[in-house]
Amino acid sequence: MRVTIFGATGLLGKALLGAWDSKRDKVVGLGSKDADVRDADQVRAVLERTQPEWIVNAAAYTDVDGCEVHRELAFAVNCQGAVNVAAAAKSRGAQLILLSTDYVFDGLSTQPYETTAPRAPRSVYGNSKAQAETRIAEILPGACIVRTSWLFGVGGKCFPDTILKMAEKRPAVEVVDDQRGSPTHAPDLAQAIVALCRQRATGIVHVTNAGDCSWFEFAAEIARAAKLNLVVRPTTSEKFARPAERPKYSVLSARSREQYGIAMPHWKDALATYLAARLAWQS
């Protein structure tokens, strides 16, 4: 399988590069310096060179608060960039996976979101990704849109890394306990994406680690599993107001990935794997 990855220098992109079988797959990873997805000509040129059968578009502007300030940039990368990649994929007859997010939902549900739930984003970031989903479905109906949430992994900025670094400098932290979702380990997501490519998946698929928690519960488990000398206290979103509104509940239903026979570890097990990998990476 010939695969081209946009966004290969990001947290997920790095995991994707190592997820394919080097003996049977030819994988090319591209960062923004190699191909800026905002430039349709650059996208077409690089795909002419790499000749992919599958394209994974993990390129995105993911600074949720930054998107509120830089709306034009958010839509240029997350929406128009995705459109450019989809259009180029269509012209080459390549299949496409677009990475999307739980932020396309309003967070008002109390039950896991199915893939058919209506999009109702409440932030610029969520809007940019929701519009990308709609446009890609129009351009390339056979594309696969993979929604995920709360991504973490070694070698990049993520919530567990932040908590671990905070523990080096302070005895206690306050973490919001009124936002609920599913943490997702980048290597687990990458393996799921490979499986979806192998099965020529289409439509929307939700992929997260199993289980759900609040950010407070996630932080408390990090402290416990890493044996940190850190007190984790619950607080509210109102106390830590930020430019972009976060979904209060954004658990994604596992039904769509289970239809492809994809099992995901529980997030607590994935966290243990991450902590071990981070320790090895640092040594």
Binned at pLDDT 50, 70 and 90, residue 283 comes out as confident
Check residue 83 and give its pLDDT: 98
- Enumerate the active-site residues: 125
* pTM summary value: 0.97
CATH architecture of 2-152+183-210+246-267: 3-Layer(aba) Sandwich (3.40)
Check residue 240 and give its pLDDT: 81
Domain map (residue ranges) of the chain? 2-152+183-210+246-267
Q: Answer yes or no: is pLDDT of 272 > 80.
A: yes
pLDDT tens digits, residue range 176-224? 999 999 999 999 999 999 999 999 999 999 999 999 999 999 999 999 9
Q: Could you tell me which of 156, 265, 148 has the C-alpha nearest to residue 208?
A: 148
Instruction: Name the β-bridge partners of 100.
Output: 147
Residue type, 208: T
Judged by phi (left if over 0) then psi (alpha if -120 to 50, else beta), residue 224 lies in alpha
Binned at pLDDT 50, 70 and 90, residue 282 comes out as confident
